[in-house]
Structure 1
Amino acid sequence: MSKGNLLDAIIAQTKLTKKQTDKQQKIVETAIKLFAEKGYANTSTSEIAKAAMVAEGTIFRHYGTKDNLLLSVILPFIKDSIPTMAEEVFGEIMSKNIGCFEDFLRALLTNRIHFINENREIFQIVVKELLYSDELRKDLLPFFTKNILHQISKVINLYKKRGELIDIPSSTIQRMIFPLIGGYFVSRFVLQPDNLDLDEEAEIGNLIRFIMDGLRKE
């Protein structure tokens, strides 16, 4: 799932689970769609119940709160999907015979911006919950560290061996790059989501230039 609609994948996965009743399945599918359409904060359990044609008490009985409903859907999917998604993304990028590290960054940023644009609502939900939920951070961050950071570290080591990057620990380079890219995605798609008229290539070029050269004028 390196590309495409994440909502469809989440719904498909919920249909495969044997732990849910038909009623729970309907609640989950309805909640996902409403979260994406209206936003998590603007969707009430009463609206979910009405759209799913169940009593609101049924949602409380199965999930307790709207937060738990969200976590019950997104958390298992991300845990199951992150390893495969990370391998797909980095495998796809590196299979294109990327020449230099800047080309890798450009391909990675282009790929992930396209993916987030396709799944903007889910990305916003997850980021907002990560900011406010200690439980979600404790559950998800180890998966990001183990899979995504591991893939980035392999790429950094490759280009260090080629002599393109400075001779400092790969973990240090990783800690400098990853928060910068992640922060850019959060700022663009969550904190300032109305900036739709951005020049995509120029934005990516500026971010890459900042990563490679910083702010100091030579």
Structure 2
Amino acid sequence: MFKGSLLEAMVAHASDNKKQTDKQQKILESAIRIFAEKGYTNTSTSEIAKAAGVAEGTIFRKYGTKDNLLLSVIVPFIKDLFPAMAEGVFNEVMSKDILSFEDFLRAFLKNRIVFFKENMEIFQIVVKEMLYNVELRKELLPFFKENVTPRLIKVINIFKERGDLADIPTGLIQKMVFTFVGGYFVSHFVLLPENSFGDEDEEIGNMIRFVMDGVRNRKET
């Protein structure tokens, strides 16, 4: 399963992409290597141009902005590797000592919080571009849904069969959990990144209680 820095993984992926011209290939490979070394924010287009052996104006003519340059690497990467990444995350989380849906949520949240902290710049750029770029949103949202939704539904059905969840349609539970968890990550890492987690375990616990109070199977006593 993929772990660690997305930028480092993108370096390897970009070097295997033979669909661009030689000049585009050099720009993309140079950009992603410098992003990986210095971070996205600390990298200038002039540095990328120098490393790629092209004029800085060439980058602007072909990609428009530094964000668009990064998206030219991110989108193919997501389409090629996201299915395996999603499968790896769910397999890793479910391989732990998971006895309840609450355990699953706790393990999943901890897993993704670590990942988003390590790749905050990339996550921020993708989310912000999807908020304002209609075409990108149309392209990527269905792709995310088709790779995450069936895996989450499978997990929900497992715990419904065990009697751990209320008799609510699986699709509705999936939608509520997906909306809440996705909204939390976007709010915390993109819209309000300056807010610290404080006590991370306590915050995760509060989130889980918020979700479970709506879906827990309230057995009669």
Which TM-score bucket, shorter chain as reference? 0.7 to 0.9
Q: 1:64 to 1:112 in 2, by over 3 A?
A: closer
Q: What is the Cα deviation at residue 81 of structure 1?
A: 1.3
Q: Which amino acid aligns with 1:185?
A: F
Contact 1:2 1:115 in 2 (8 A): no
SS at match of 1:38: coil
- Partner Cα distance (2:160, 2:198) in 1: 32
For structure 1, which runs of at least 5 residues remain unmatched after alignment? none
- Partner Cα distance (1:31, 1:185) in 2: 27
Aligned to 2:64: 65
Q: What is the Cα deviation at residue 51 of structure 1?
A: 5.7
SS at match of 1:37: coil
- Partner Cα distance (2:3, 2:169) in 1: 32
Aligned to 1:151: 151
- Partner Cα distance (2:50, 2:78) in 1: 27
Aligned to 2:192: 192
- Partner Cα distance (2:104, 2:135) in 1: 33
| Superposed counterparts of 1:35-46, under 5 Å | 36-38=39-41, 45-46=45-46
- After TM superposition, where is structure 1 displaced by more than 6 Å over at least 4 residues in a row? none
Q: What is the Cα deviation at residue 36 of structure 1?
A: 4.2
Contact 1:27 1:48 in 2 (8 A): yes
Q: 1:28 to 1:111 in 2, by over 3 A?
A: same
- Partner Cα distance (1:24, 1:104) in 2: 43
- Partner Cα distance (1:146, 1:213) in 2: 27
Q: What is the Cα deviation at residue 82 of structure 1?
A: 1.3
Q: What is the Cα deviation at residue 20 of structure 1?
A: 3.4
Q: Which amino acid aligns with 2:133?
A: S
Q: Which amino acid aligns with 1:150?
A: P
- Partner Cα distance (2:207, 2:106) in 1: 9
Aligned to 2:108: 108
Percent same amino acid at aligned positions? 64
- Partner Cα distance (1:29, 1:120) in 2: 21
- Partner Cα distance (2:39, 2:159) in 1: 39
Contact 2:197 2:203 in 1 (8 A): no
| Superposed counterparts of 1:127-138, under 5 Å | 127-138=127-138
1:182 aligns with 2:185: no
Contact 1:36 1:122 in 2 (8 A): no
Q: What is the Cα deviation at residue 185 of structure 1?
A: 0.5
Q: What is the Cα deviation at residue 182 of structure 1?
A: 0.6
Q: Which amino acid aligns with 1:113?
A: I
Contact 2:71 2:126 in 1 (8 A): no
- Partner Cα distance (1:194, 1:148) in 2: 28
RMSD: 2.2
Structure with greater contact order relative to length (CA < 8 Å, sep ≥ 6):
1
Q: 1:2 to 1:109 in 2, by over 3 A?
A: farther
Q: 1:9 to 1:87 in 2, by over 3 A?
A: same
